Amino acid sequence: MSEVPQKVLHVIDSLDLGGAQTFLLELVKNLDRGRYLPEVACMHGRGVYAEAFEKEGITVHSLSAGKFPPTYIPNFWRLMRSEKYGILHFHLFGANLCAKPLAILAGHQAIIVHDQCNDASREKNPILMMADAFWNHCSNHVIAVSESTRRYLIDREDLPEDMVTMISNGIDAEEFRSATDSDKQMARRSLGIPADAFVLGGVGRLVPQKNFKTFLNVAALIGAKNSEVIFIIAGTGHQQEELKSMAVALGLGNHVRFLGHVKDRISLYHALDVLLMTSDFEGTPMSLLEAMSSGVPVVAHAVDGIAEVCTDGVDALLSPRGDTDGLVDAVKYLLADNEIRLKLSANARKTILDRYDIRKLVQKIEAVYEDVLHEQSN
């Protein structure tokens, strides 16, 4: 590979709240700047993460003010053609279906796809599935964040096995660490949460995939009988008002708090006693990794990437998808047994340190870059 650093353009739907955006920030922060010079292009708007990228010295290109009109298409074409990017790295469905085909048609020699999840929209729409598969086949390499995502691409989109590499998401375990008593008190004070409450949280976009309706049903079954338990939901999304109305209908006005976007995620996890994940499907969710690294016990549906990260009874408590009673029983178990909470906390932290350190995972992505660039130079 050339000794001159390669410019890498990361293209993503938006820089709004989401696990893909969180991981991308960690990725560009840890890339070897002596070899790769990252920039980010978001297809519409700037989003809550743009400032964080710029603080890391990353140039952010906003390709249009909004989704409509789709001026991001000609603007991406101009950006791609005017700059000498050695690698184009695409993230999320919109960028893959709208911007990536332009890069392929332009004959760009190094196109990487990052697939974060077995997105249900592909299953529900055969045309989307065919389009995604077609353009993936025309790319140089695909990174899947979990083995279930990798198998999905190979089995459902018929991608060659050697074209898809599984590299999980990762985090900075030095940044996300277990809370001291002082950390917990400060975190709760900043959120207006009683210091002696048992706090069970949900973190993520308020969209159907995350299934916060089940989260609220669990809250109703537990909170109605235990006034010391507080449920908090951190995140934004189009279901926000619907979920707030549901909480009121379930009589959870005094038990559930909607925090919206929480900028200080480290402090957020310090405030929690348990993270409850009710998603219907996942890749490798960043909130799961962040909570485990922070020593927060996790109760979750055993879906896709969650089941690949966690071992039931060792570093998390898992129940089958759709088993609300199983989630309720697990939360009650943790409410009653501090020793099991301590055990899960210690084991979860160990899992992250052993397998999900961001620096090791970025090195694997850099190896993919090297392989693709080497192939194109021959």
User: What does the block give as tokens for 234?
Assistant: 């951190």
Residue-level pLDDT at 224:
63
Q: Please state the rounded mean pLDDT for residues 328-336.
A: 96
* pLDDT over threshold 70, residue 1: no
Mean pLDDT, residues 172-181 taken together: 96
Residue 41 has pLDDT above 60, yes or no: yes
Encode pLDDT of 199-225 as tens digits.
999 999 999 999 999 999 999 999 766
What pLDDT is attached to residue 214?
98
Mean pLDDT of 238-250: 97
Between 123 and 235, the more confident residue is 235
| Superfamily for domain range 181-355 | Glycogen Phosphorylase B; (3.40.50.2000)
Average pLDDT over every residue of 39-66: 96
Residue 2 pLDDT > 60, yes or no?
Answer: no
Per-residue pLDDT band at 121 (split at 50, 70, 90): low
pLDDT at 117: 83
Per-chain mean pLDDT for the chain: 95
Q: Helices 358-377 & 19-30, crossing angle to 10 degrees?
A: 80
Query: What is the share, in percent, of the chain residues with pLDDT greater than 90?
Result: 91
Q: Which residues contact 280 (CB under 8 A, 6 or more apart)?
A: 120, 208, 209, 210, 211, 301, 303, 321
Domain ranges of the chain: 6-170+357-377, 181-355
pLDDT at 378: 78
pLDDT confidence of residue 261:
92
Q: What is the pLDDT of residue 206?
A: 97
Give the span between the Cα atoms of 156 and 272, in whole angstroms: 38
Lowest mean pLDDT among 113-122, 134-143, 275-284, 293-302: 113-122
> Out of 249-258, 267-276, 353-362, which region has the weakest mean confidence (pLDDT)?
249-258
Residues 154-172: tens digit of each pLDDT: 999 999 999 999 999 999 9
Give the pLDDT score at 243. 98
Segment 238-248 shows an average pLDDT of: 97
> Fold match between 6-170+357-377 and 181-355?
yes
In the prediction, which pLDDT does 302 show?
97
CATH fold of 6-170+357-377 reads: Rossmann fold (3.40.50)
Q: What is the mean pLDDT of residues 251-274?
A: 94
Q: Give mean pLDDT, residues 224-250.
A: 92
Q: Region 29-54: what's the mean pLDDT?
A: 96
One-letter amino acid at 236 equals T
